[in-house]
Amino acid sequence: MSEQLDSAAYYHIAYDAHTIMNPLGDERFLFLAEQCGLTSSSRVLDIGSGNGWSSLLLCRRFGCCSVQVDVSSQWTARARALFEREQCADRTEIHCMDAAAFHLEQDAFDLVLCLGTAPVYGGFAPALSALQPVLREGGCIIVGEPSAEGPLPRRYREYLDEFGWEIFDAKTLLRIIDDCGLEALMTLRSTRDEWDRYMGLQWKAISDRRHAVPGDAQLREFAEWARDEQEAYLRFQRHWVDWNVFLLRALR
Ligand SMILES: C[S@@+](CC[C@H](N)C(=O)[O-])C[C@H]1O[C@@H](n2cnc3c(N)ncnc32)[C@H](O)[C@@H]1O
C-alpha cells in the first residue's frame, strides 16, 4: 500500500454500497439495541455515524432521537438525505465535525454508539473513558472493536505495524471495560459471512468506480490498495481477527 494514499477518499468510494458500515448485520445490531429498553423518549449519541444507517435503524424500530457526529461532509449529507427520505429528519441532529472536539454532555444519553470509531478518541480505553460519563442512569454503550488471540503470524504483525493498527486480545478488552467502570452485558462476534460481505462490498465498490471512470490514476491506485487488502484479509484477517460488538452498561 502507498503511504500517500488518501484513505478518506478511498473509504468514501469503498463504503458506497454499504448500509451499516461495519461487519455486524442489521438484525444482530438491533438485537443488542433491544436489550437497552429504548423508547420514543430515548436519546442516542452516534459517534462516527457514517451514512446514518445505524441511527436510522434505531429510530425506525424504537422511535428514539439521535445525535449523529461524523467528520465527513459526504457521510453527513448522506445521513441527512436518508433521514429525510424516511421522513424522520425531525428525530435526528447531524453534526459534521471531528467527534473528538464534540462537546459531550454528561448524563444525557440512553445509548451511545461507537461502531468502529474508538480511534477518534485514541483507542478503545480512551473512547470508553470519554463516553461513559454521557450515559444516563441505566444507559448503555454499543461499541465495535476487533480482537485477535496471538501470537499473530509475523507477516500480519508487520502489516498491522506498518499502519499503526493495534489489535488487543479479548482478555485485554474485558480488562479495559472493567477499568472504565463498565460491565459487558453481551457481545456478538461477526460471522465469517458478515465479514466477507463487509469486505466484499468495499472491493466491488472500488472496482465499479474504476470501471465507470477508466484511466483515472487515483482509482487505479485504489484498486491496487484493494488488491493488497484482499490478500491481507484472505490470508490473515479472516482467520485471526474477530469483530466484536459489545453491549456495555455503567457500573453505578
Ligand atoms: C467504519 S465507518 C463506521 C460508520 C458507522 N459507525 C457504522 O458502523 O455504520 C467510520 C466513520 O467514522 C468517521 N470518522 C472517522 N474519524 C472521525 C472523527 N475524528 N470524527 C468523526 N467521525 C469520524 C468516518 O467519516 C466514517 O464515517
**Count of CB atoms situated within 10 Å of the CB of 183:** 12
CATH of domain 7-250: 3.40.50.150
Residue-averaged pLDDT of the chain: 96
66-103 pLDDT per residue, tens: 999 999 999 999 999 999 999 999 999 999 999 999 99
User: Cα Rg for the chain, rounded, in angstroms?
Assistant: 18
Q: Is the peptide bond before 214 cis (omega within 30 degrees of 0)?
A: no
Instruction: Tell me what pLDDT residue 5 has.
Output: 80
Task: Supply the residue whose CA is at minimum distance from atom 7 of ligand 1.
Answer: 21
Judge whether residue 2 has pLDDT over 80: no
Find out whether 126 and 104 touch, Cβ atoms under 8 Å. no
Alpha-carbon span 227 to 10, nearest angstrom: 13
User: What confidence tens digit (pLDDT) does each residue in 128-137 have?
Assistant: 999 999 999 9
What is the percent of the chain where pLDDT is above 90? 96
For residues 226 and 132, give the distance between their C-alpha atoms in angstroms, rounded to a whole number: 36
Whether the predicted pLDDT of 119 surpasses 70:
yes
Q: Which residues of 25-64 are buried (b: 16+ CB within 10 A; e: fewer)?
A: beebbbebbeebebeeebbbbbbbbbbbbbbbbbbeebeb
pLDDT score, position 127: 98
Grid cell 484482499 in the structure block, residue: 230
Distances, alpha carbon 39 to alpha carbons 33, 36, 43, 94, 249, in Å: 11, 9, 9, 20, 17
The pLDDT of residue 3: 54
Name the pTM for this structure.
Answer: 0.97
Ligand 1 pocket, residue 98 CB under 6 Å: yes
What does the pLDDT look like over 27-53, one tens digit per residue? 999 999 999 999 999 999 999 999 999
| Predicted confidence band of residue 249 (pLDDT cuts 50, 70, 90) | very high
Domain ranges of the chain: 7-250
Answer for the pair 45, 113: CB distance below 8 angstroms, yes or no: yes
Residue 183 has pLDDT above 80, yes or no: yes
| Ligand 1 center–CA 252 separation, angstroms | 29
Judged against a pLDDT cut of 50, whether residue 117 lies above it is answered with yes
From the CB of 72, is ligand 1 less than 6 Å away?
yes
